[in-house]
Amino acid sequence: MATTPASSAFSFSFTFFLLLSFKTANGDVIKVQQQQLHFHTVQLSSLFPSDSCDVSPSSSETQDLNKLPVFHKHGPCAQAQQLTRSTNNHKPTADEILRQDESRVQTIQSRSRKAAAAAGGDVMVTDSTTIPAKDGSTVGSGNYIVTVGLGTPARQLSLIFDTGSDVTWTQCQPCVRSCYQQQEKIFDPSSSASYRNVSCSAASCSALSSATGNTPGCSSSTCVYGIQYGDSSFSVGFFGTEKLTLTSTDVFDNFFFGCGQNNQGNFGGAAGLLGLGRDKLSLVSQTAQKYNKLFSYCLPSSSSGTGFLTFGGAATKSVKYTPISSIAGGSNFYGLDITAISVGGRKLSVSATVFSTAGAIIDSGTVITRLPPAAYSALRSAFRQQMSRYPLGQALSILDTCYDLSKYKTVSVPKVGFLFAGGTEVDIEAVGILYANSPSQVCLAFAGNGDASDIGILGNVQQQTLEVVYDGAGGRVGFASGGCS
Ligand SMILES: *[C@@H]1O[C@H](CO)[C@@H](O)[C@H](O)[C@H]1NC(C)=O
């Protein structure tokens, strides 16, 4: 192979460029620099979690910012907290994860179709009203865990946090019907001085209809909530109020939550769920006086890392914002307007209407980003073209573009960028482009929707290591790179 002195330092990338260009040495240098700009150089090993928990310094030493550490529910950090050790909570395979993900997505999409139908019909839909046609099941249960305190004295509970649902709940004694196995002791309202039942006639009880999609029940004048998730998990129980302790300085009295008496499903040993959606019963709305509906998180780059969830502010200064679009998916979701996608620095030739027809949301609980079919096929062909030096491997469930990288230590991966309304450009980190099942099956971590009208979803694989800021009062969502560090 012929190399010039100037390009020898970049010989790895240069090899690739010889395949595409036959320019002079000078032209090659420029192209090599562009290559550096538009490609990630990825250590293959960095795509796999380690067996032990890497606690990042930011999540443990920044008490002043009130950051709650965030773990993946199946990773070693959750294990360190003894969440997944029980025999019931086996570590799911990639196939199982992607199948559960698909059922969450199906639920979100059916909910959003109904919301769209309601908006187009006689029913007025505003940000705060109930969507009458809403599905009775909410989305699958999400993947990331934080620990909060509940009751007096405060009991520590690890909950899955979810921007795609609203009601916070935990399993409660006496587990009248059934509780699944969780690692922490199950919350017992009778040993808390601050627990109160909500009565059936309370306004907050009626508010459950819009928050859960289910009409609340009534049992000896106590309000009964029920939530089903798309993956057929559910929680049913008494609706109550409690003292919620997020951090030592951030304590909320009379926080509405579900005290689950019949719980089943796929919660990975977590004690319940923290609802961060936009409905008025969500944690975000209930704490609006203090935090002004502002929160942010960073999801760690692997299941062995830690991130954070914080309320009332953003940790990073250089956050780029785009407006929340309120129609997409119904008023409980955080809607986004995607306007374009680039691969390796080149904008895909997909018309903006492809994105606007479907609309999109951002969701902490969906794993793989879903795109309109035309957008996904353009992304896939651009990606395949720019990855053509690597051998294709076997498809993995919904992921149809996989590579056998078992012979490589380092790979050069085209950058993927999203352009949002307002001109906001967000580069997806390398860990958000590839979903690695094994070195011989490393896949493009995006999928196409079945129908052009299905809503797009920015999933949590793509959000990894970005700080994502939800500014509900300001009506905007923001992104900052390098968020977990
Ligand atoms: C809450 O209501 C349920 C059902 O009526 C009842 O069994 C339970 O004892 C009540 N708890 C409190 C603390 O009042």
Which 8-state DSSP code applies to residue 305? B
Q: 238: Cβ below 6 Å to ligand 1?
A: yes
Which ligand 1 atom is at minimum distance from the Cα of 259?
Answer: 1
Domain count, the chain: 2
418-441 pLDDT tens trace: 999 999 999 999 999 999 999 999
Fill in the amino acid letter for 286. Q
Collapse the DSSP code of 120 into the 3-class scheme (helix H, G, I; strand E, B; otherwise coil) and give the result.
helix
Among the listed residues 28, 101, 135, 162, the single catalytic one is 162
222-270 pLDDT tens trace: 999 999 887 778 999 999 999 999 998 999 999 999 999 999 987 878 9
Q: How far does the centroid of ligand 1 lie from the alpha carbon of residue 234, in Å? A: 21
CATH code: domain of residue 405:
2.40.70.10
- Same-domain status, 410 and 277: no
Choose the final residue of a domain: 244, 276, 310.
310
3-23 pLDDT tens trace: 334 433 333 333 344 334 444
**Is-catalytic flag, 253?**
no
- Same-domain status, 192 and 295: yes
Q: How far does the centroid of ligand 1 lie from the alpha carbon of residue 270, in Å? A: 24
* pLDDT number for residue 139: 42
Residue 47 covered by a domain: no
pLDDT at 130 over 50: no
Which 8-state DSSP code applies to residue 199? B
- Same-domain status, 356 and 407: yes
Q: 220: Cβ below 6 Å to ligand 1?
A: yes
Residue 272 covered by a domain: yes
- Same-domain status, 68 and 126: yes
Q: What is the dihedral of CA 212, 217, 222, 228, to 10 degrees?
A: -40
pLDDT at 59 over 50: no
Q: 239: Cβ below 6 Å to ligand 1?
A: no
* pLDDT number for residue 116: 67
More confident residue, 120 or 282: 282
Query: pTM, whole model, 2 decimals?
Result: 0.85
- Same-domain status, 256 and 385: no
pLDDT at 96 over 90: no
Q: How far does the centroid of ligand 1 lie from the alpha carbon of residue 198, in Å? A: 9
Q: What is the dihedral of CA 446, 450, 456, 457, to 10 degrees?
A: -50
Residue 429 covered by a domain: yes
177-188 pLDDT tens trace: 999 999 899 999
- Same-domain status, 347 and 293: no
Choose the final residue of a domain: 287, 310, 333.
310
The rounded mean pLDDT for the chain is 84
- Same-domain status, 320 and 297: no
Report the candidate in 98, 54, 45 with the shortest Cα–Cα distance to residue 72. 54
- Same-domain status, 440 and 456: yes
- Same-domain status, 350 and 273: no
132-164 pLDDT tens trace: 222 333 444 557 889 999 999 999 999 998 998
Q: How far does the centroid of ligand 1 lie from the alpha carbon of residue 197, in Å? A: 6
Distance CA 49, CA 57 (A): 18
Among the listed residues 166, 363, 454, 471, the single catalytic one is 363
Residue 2 burial (C-beta neighbours within 10 Å; 0-12, 13-18, 19+): exposed
Domain span at residue 164 reads 53-310
- Same-domain status, 241 and 179: yes
* pLDDT number for residue 50: 76
- Same-domain status, 199 and 347: no
Residue 44 covered by a domain: no
**Is-catalytic flag, 135?**
no
- Same-domain status, 200 and 329: no
The answer to which of 68-82, 96-110, 341-355, 399-413 has the lowest mean pLDDT is: 68-82
* pLDDT number for residue 91: 72
Q: 195: Cβ below 6 Å to ligand 1?
A: yes
Which ligand 1 atom is at minimum distance from the Cα of 190?
Answer: 13
Contacts of residue 127, defined as CB under 8 A and 6 or more positions apart, other chains included, come to: 278, 326, 331
Split at pLDDT 50, 70, 90, the class of 460 is: very high
